[in-house]
Chains A and B, each alone.
Chain A
């Protein structure tokens, strides 16, 4: 339904190179990348606000690369919402309906339908100056949806919302997608991708470095950047020997259970399955290393401990364990994990 073929553009020091992307009807596609890599520019190219240097944008089999902005059937919702400040909420939603040859009754009915969908009927007669970020986002969504775009482009829609509002808005976005709207959503937050998308593409330095079904990309990251960016820790490239040993970066040899006779691949060691102790433990774990604690990072109820064993390992422990064993930065510890805690990606 939406297809980007070899889109390239250079804007000052920044550039997008040969971007290929394909969305099917009903997809919730998340474009994941750090800030400033060109995600918004790509959305603006699709919406026609910027012309690419090369490449084509195809919507429903029609080349819309050079089509006028107002003739394209894609709707973009910007990160700053871009709600018209001089119009009321109702007038904002009404804006795209004017000039569509609709009766005032039809316009009124559509405004209420989409205000209901986005849960803002109580705001219709309000001005937009004093609305919260979440409310403005809903107004922007209602205004765009009432225009019935074939594809909805969302630029970091949850970025400036607090946790409670994020949850509410995620549910709304899911509902909009389930109602049949195809969505392309750009974000730097991998949790949004997991929570919402069925497909994901990771963009880095102006190029798409991996794309596919969300589950696949998160299960099989193509490289360290994707792994780190998708929240996966302890991702390494390894060379395997026939004796079920994986050598990581030429520094550390770890025991793996089965590597299907492959010579090179990627491994993920699940942080939750790594045990740390003050002394060497006698256990069934076949991988035991002495290391040094580099960093202790607090999370909500757990702690992430970064340990140098020749490679840096991320280990997750509870607050209770941390206070019980009094682990400190720069102290020496033992880490152990079973070979079954290692996931091999060919």
Chain B
């Protein structure tokens, strides 16, 4: 009797099709772009400025919002309370709502008539059409990635280690910074990278808050609308390359840290 199963082969074929589905459009786009076009585009000040703005806004959004997101993750990992399920649901909300709708919601939140808008105006800052507004929109849609990853990380830290540290005389703050945070760091770093990467790719929410200054996803959209595929494609390729370089760099940094810890 032939016991040889065809299941692995079917799985490989199906999996291969999915991988092809991801790679093909990207590869097609890369192949359709000549090195000369890439070179020209990478020198275009509008493109370069928009890439820097995108990177900077997403980076600032990640760093600034991490200050509140990490303690929230710790709280969610360590505390049981009545409406915890609802709070966890709220955290995931930005992932499931349409991002253009999220943009409208944020616009109401940061416009000049809002409380935050008025506070901003009092110091001469108008969030609408400003990099700060872009960062807020990016943070809104990408923060669940950080909170969920960090919460998982803190949940994996044995409570007993924290209790031991307290028993050794450490204050709760010292326990957090010397035990909980370092032990959950791998997950937190992964969450930070995911939040940063998700912020880079945001379009729907940002276009409502700030068409100008133009982040790269909006620039690609504008070039496509105004000049067609031929002019939008090189910008897309350059932006994807930059994103991939950052993504790989950050991932390898995280990995390096992991091997150092081990």
- Establish whether residues A129 and B163, one from each chain, have CB atoms under 8 Å apart when the complex forms: no
- Establish whether residues A82 and B182, one from each chain, have CB atoms under 8 Å apart when the complex forms: no
- Establish whether residues A144 and B168, one from each chain, have CB atoms under 8 Å apart when the complex forms: yes
The verdict on A298 contacting chain B, using a C-beta distance below 8 Å, is: no
The secondary-structure label for the interface of chain A is loop
CB contact list, B144-189 vs A, under 8 A: 158, 160-161, 163-171, 174, 178-179, 182-183
Tell me whether A82 and B160 are in contact in the complex, defined as CB-CB below 8 angstroms, given that A70-B166, A147-B169 are known contacts: yes
- Establish whether residues A70 and B170, one from each chain, have CB atoms under 8 Å apart when the complex forms: yes
- Establish whether residues B262 and A147, one from each chain, have CB atoms under 8 Å apart when the complex forms: no
Cα distance A314–B69 in the bound complex, in angstroms = 65
The verdict on A86 contacting chain B, using a C-beta distance below 8 Å, is: yes
Query: Which residues on the A side are within 8 Å of B262 (C-beta)?
Result: 129
Cα distance A82–B179 in the bound complex, in angstroms = 11
The verdict on A95 contacting chain B, using a C-beta distance below 8 Å, is: yes
Cα distance A147–B164 in the bound complex, in angstroms = 12
- Establish whether residues A143 and B160, one from each chain, have CB atoms under 8 Å apart when the complex forms: no
- Establish whether residues B167 and A75, one from each chain, have CB atoms under 8 Å apart when the complex forms: yes
Cα distance A322–B168 in the bound complex, in angstroms = 55
- Establish whether residues A69 and B261, one from each chain, have CB atoms under 8 Å apart when the complex forms: no
**A149 nearest CB neighbor, chain B only:** B167
- Establish whether residues B161 and A82, one from each chain, have CB atoms under 8 Å apart when the complex forms: yes
Cα distance A232–B158 in the bound complex, in angstroms = 39
The verdict on A49 contacting chain B, using a C-beta distance below 8 Å, is: yes
Cα distance A305–B160 in the bound complex, in angstroms = 44
The verdict on A200 contacting chain B, using a C-beta distance below 8 Å, is: no
- Establish whether residues A84 and B166, one from each chain, have CB atoms under 8 Å apart when the complex forms: no
Pick the contact of B171 from A44, A70, A86 — CB < 8 Å? Answer: A70
- Establish whether residues B183 and A82, one from each chain, have CB atoms under 8 Å apart when the complex forms: no
Query: Which residues on the B side are within 8 Å of A49 (C-beta)?
Result: 163, 166-167
Tell me whether A82 and B158 are in contact in the complex, defined as CB-CB below 8 angstroms, given that A70-B171, A99-B174, A129-B262 are known contacts: yes
Cα distance A143–B165 in the bound complex, in angstroms = 10
Cα distance A74–B161 in the bound complex, in angstroms = 16
- Establish whether residues B164 and A86, one from each chain, have CB atoms under 8 Å apart when the complex forms: no
The verdict on A227 contacting chain B, using a C-beta distance below 8 Å, is: no
**B168 nearest CB neighbor, chain A only:** A96
Cα distance A78–B164 in the bound complex, in angstroms = 8
The verdict on A113 contacting chain B, using a C-beta distance below 8 Å, is: no
CB contact list, A29-58 vs B, under 8 A: 44, 47-49
- Establish whether residues B168 and A95, one from each chain, have CB atoms under 8 Å apart when the complex forms: yes
- Establish whether residues B168 and A78, one from each chain, have CB atoms under 8 Å apart when the complex forms: no
Pick the contact of B168 from A44, A75, A80, A86 — CB < 8 Å? Answer: A75
- Establish whether residues B179 and A84, one from each chain, have CB atoms under 8 Å apart when the complex forms: yes
**A50 nearest CB neighbor, chain B only:** B163
CB contact list, A67-87 vs B, under 8 A: 69-70, 72, 74-76, 78, 80, 82, 84-86
Query: Which residues on the B side are within 8 Å of A144 (C-beta)?
Result: 168
Cα distance A129–B183 in the bound complex, in angstroms = 13
- Establish whether residues B169 and A70, one from each chain, have CB atoms under 8 Å apart when the complex forms: yes
Tell me whether A86 and B170 are in contact in the complex, defined as CB-CB below 8 angstroms, given that A76-B164, A129-B262 are known contacts: no
Max count, chain A CB within 10 A of own CB: residue among B161, B163, B167, B178: B167
Cα distance A346–B211 in the bound complex, in angstroms = 94
- Establish whether residues B167 and A47, one from each chain, have CB atoms under 8 Å apart when the complex forms: yes
**B160 nearest CB neighbor, chain A only:** A82
Q: Nearest-CB distance from B156 to chain A (Å)?
A: 12
Query: Which residues on the B side are within 8 Å of A72 (C-beta)?
Result: 167
**A127 nearest CB neighbor, chain B only:** B262
Cα distance A70–B166 in the bound complex, in angstroms = 5
Query: Which residues on the A side are within 8 Å of B163 (C-beta)?
Result: 44, 47, 49, 69, 82
Pick the contact of A96 from B161, B169, B182, B183 — CB < 8 Å? Answer: B169
Query: Which residues on the A side are within 8 Å of B167 (C-beta)?
Result: 47-49, 69-70, 72, 74-76
**B175 nearest CB neighbor, chain A only:** A70
- Establish whether residues A95 and B165, one from each chain, have CB atoms under 8 Å apart when the complex forms: yes
Query: Which residues on the A side are within 8 Å of B165 (C-beta)?
Result: 84, 95
Pick the contact of B183 from A69, A80, A86, A99 — CB < 8 Å? Answer: A86
Query: Which residues on the A side are within 8 Å of B183 (C-beta)?
Result: 85-86
Query: Which residues on the B side are within 8 Å of A70 (C-beta)?
Result: 166-171
**A86 nearest CB neighbor, chain B only:** B182
Pick the contact of B161 from A44, A84, A143, A147 — CB < 8 Å? Answer: A84
A interface with B by C-beta (< 8 Å): 44, 47-49, 69-70, 72, 74-76, 78, 80, 82, 84-86, 95-96, 99-100, 129, 143-144, 147
B interface with A by C-beta (< 8 Å): 158, 160-161, 163-171, 174, 178-179, 182-183, 261-262
A sample of 20 cross-chain residue pairs with beta-carbon separation below 8 angstroms, ordered by A number, consists of A49-B163, A49-B167, A70-B166, A70-B168, A70-B169, A70-B170, A70-B171, A72-B167, A76-B167, A78-B160, A82-B163, A82-B164, A84-B164, A86-B182, A95-B165, A99-B169, A100-B169, A143-B168, A147-B168, A147-B169
For the complex of A and B, the 8 pairs showing the least CB-CB separation, nearest first, are A96-B168, A82-B164, A69-B166, A49-B163, A70-B169, A86-B182, A82-B160, A70-B166
Add 20 more A-B contacts to A70-B168, A84-B165, A129-B262 (CB < 8 A): A44-B163, A48-B167, A49-B163, A69-B163, A69-B167, A70-B170, A72-B167, A75-B168, A76-B167, A82-B158, A84-B161, A86-B261, A95-B165, A95-B168, A95-B178, A96-B170, A99-B174, A143-B168, A144-B168, A147-B169
